[in-house]
Structure 1
Amino acid sequence: MFIYPDIKTNQTLWLDTTNGHQIYVEESGNPKGYPVIYCHGGPGGASSSQFRRLFDPEFYRIIIFDQRGCGQSKPFLSLENNTTDDLIADIEQIRNHFKLNKVLLAGGSWGTTLALLYAQKYPQNVSAMLLRGIFLGRKQDLAWLYEKDGAARLFPDYYQAFRHYLTDSAQSSQQIISEYLAHLNSQNQLEHLAAAKAWCAWESQIAQLHYSHQETEAATEAHHALAMALLECHYFKNNCFIKENQILENLDKIEHIPAIIIHGRYDSVCDLSQAWQLHQIWQNSQLFIIPEAGHSLGEIAIAKACCQASNDFMKYFKEQK
């Protein structure tokens, strides 16, 4: 066994926010256990039963939520009051709802961005961090993913399909995102859905070291693709609603928090340099570079490393008592 068996939730609920959203939240594991809050990727991804399986359900109280506009949160696809600050406020509301003190904060991909930003605003609420597939949300990170001189050089065939919906003049990441966003806001539903699927296909096709047709099928399923494409474009067009290099420049706020960083050596969605730069200035972090792995939690080596990290923190928390 490299991850824990699938478990059912103890409870599911929708938390009302002050500005029109209802956030889907689920709790599983030990109701009296050590709390972990997991942030999913995207923006626009959703919670998954796989996230629960990374944590020992006898020790951890596992709390997972769907971010605004996606998954089972309501209203679906809403961009109103949907910014990074809003998502940070939602995490804090979830922590307060469950009357939690300090939590293990975990996440993958965009979930690492959100977790890091939350921790920098509320460092007193975070005991440790488990981060997989670091995304720092800078212009250079978007350029790597969407422009011709980044991941496209490794996957020119998939990138050609991704560019099918773009004009020749769209070369910068902001131009590419803007043109896709126009398609995603089209009144033509067929155009809207086709663009969403193309957007999500590109990322899923490069997410694993060994291509998975099943993962691309799941990524381009209509409900998932519509949310992922729209919310990624919305956030990325606005530079993730953060200042350039905000995470690294504010790392002093969380340098005391222990962190385990897991990153695939051949991650083509979020290149390894992001995790490396973060680790270099975060003295209290450990970086595990996973050989023969890419970006996806669906890769056995990545999931196994995340599970091992949660077990390591379990021992750490027991020693703190």
Structure 2
Amino acid sequence: MEVGDGHRIRCQEAGNPAGKPVVVLHGGPGSGIAPMARRHFDPAAYRIILFDQRGSGESTPGAEDLRANTLWHLVSDMEMLRERLGIESWQLFGGSWGATLALAYAETHPSRVSEIILRGVFTVRQSELDWIYRGGAANVFPREWEEFLAPIPQSRRDDPLAAYAELLEDPSEEVRHRAAIAWSTWEGATVSVQPQESFVRQYAEPGFALTFARLAVHYFSNGAWLEEGQLIRDAGKLAGIPGVIVQGRYDTVCPPTTAYELHQAWPGSELRLLEGAGHAVTDPGVLSALRAATDAFRE
């Protein structure tokens, strides 16, 4: 679908064309549509809508061109897609960065949202960025943190996010690739409560890592074009929208304090805090909690 600014986004549907519409918002930013995302929904009951966000997956241009690629462009793309499909209102489903986008869209267009299901809540506050990219999570994953810092000169390690923004624009392709893989591998190493080599390999794959790192650093260096604390501050706009927040107790990427604060600010929301789970959708209890939520909202 053409969305303007020279961007085309890849869109996909699955399930029942006459079913309850739900839009799935992938994480990252930059991870793209994953087959697992369709499996959270009863295909007989749901019309499942997915899209690769700007710069991600098969959308064009890729992450090498970051012009006209902000959170508010993505919100606008969602509205264009909803109108294109003739949908009055839809359920929002997103985890991690997908939760960020879901909240931004719902607070902008609350009348177009029937329900919201979030996992591993992230709202791009400075405290959240500092936790994962300025040494908080390093207390849990010290060896992996050392590897994350390895591409950065000693003199620039006080602000890794700013340092990575420079490395990913370096004239040397070798420098850019090394930085992208180190950035992406850090997330792969911390995403599950039980570290899994398969996640590390997936995130370290060069093609994935370059897109993932460039988009993430682009968005986070700009605070996702949000005012500090905006998404939780404005959560009162979600009053009347049923919502379920699924959060791992031991989520190292997006610690549960953010989900808890959102729950407190969002009237009528339900927080399901899962003991023994981290950030990954495959961690203990996460899939069953998400599917229980989508089943509850089927009708």
* Residue from 112, 120, 125 that aligns with 2:107: 120
For residue 299 of structure 1, report the CA deviation from its aligned partner. 2.3
Given that 2:247 and 2:272 are in contact with CA atoms closer than 8 Å, whether structure 1 keeps it comes out as yes
* Residue from 259, 262, 268 that aligns with 1:284: 268
The equivalent residue for 2:189 is: 205
Q: Equivalences for 1:66-105 in 2 at 5 Å?
A: 66-77=52-63, 78-105=65-92
Paired residues in the alignment total: 298
For residue 70 of structure 1, report the CA deviation from its aligned partner. 1.2
Cα-Cα RMSD: 1.1
Secondary structure of the residue aligned to 1:260 is: strand
Residue 138 of structure 1 aligns with an amino acid whose one-letter code is: R
Residue 82 of structure 1 aligns with an amino acid whose one-letter code is: N
Which range moves more in the overlay, 227-236 or 160-169?
160-169
For residue 168 of structure 1, report the CA deviation from its aligned partner. 2.9
* Residue from 57, 62, 71 that aligns with 2:48: 62
Deviations 1:6-32 (A, max 9, x none): xxxxxxxxx101211000110000011
1:35 to 2:21 alignment: yes
Secondary structure of the residue aligned to 1:17 is: strand
Secondary structure of the residue aligned to 1:133 is: strand
Distance in 2 of aligned mates of 1:145 and 1:219:
16
Listed as ranges, the gaps of 5+ residues in structure 1 are 1-14
Listed as ranges, the gaps of 5+ residues in structure 2 are none
Distance in 2 of aligned mates of 1:300 and 1:216:
19
Identity over aligned residues, as a percent? 37
The equivalent residue for 1:165 is: 151
For residue 181 of structure 1, report the CA deviation from its aligned partner. 1.6
For residue 219 of structure 1, report the CA deviation from its aligned partner. 1.1
Distance in 2 of aligned mates of 1:284 and 1:167:
48
1:107 to 2:91 alignment: no
Which range moves more in the overlay, 59-68 or 251-260?
251-260
Q: TM-score, normalised by structure 1?
A: 0.91
The equivalent residue for 2:127 is: 140
Q: TM-score, normalised by structure 2?
A: 0.97
* Residue from 33, 44, 49 that aligns with 1:47: 33
Deviations 1:207-228 (A, max 9, x none): 1011110111111112211111
Distance in 1 of aligned mates of 2:217 and 2:202:
19
Q: Equivalences for 1:111-260 in 2 at 5 Å?
A: 111-148=98-135, 150-172=136-158, 175-260=159-244
Distance in 1 of aligned mates of 2:288 and 2:81:
27
Deviations 1:121-143 (A, max 9, x none): 00010010000000011000000
Given that 2:236 and 2:267 are in contact with CA atoms closer than 8 Å, whether structure 1 keeps it comes out as no
Residue 223 of structure 2 aligns with an amino acid whose one-letter code is: N
Deviations 1:121-175 (A, max 9, x none): 0001001000000001100000000112x11111111000000012334355xx3
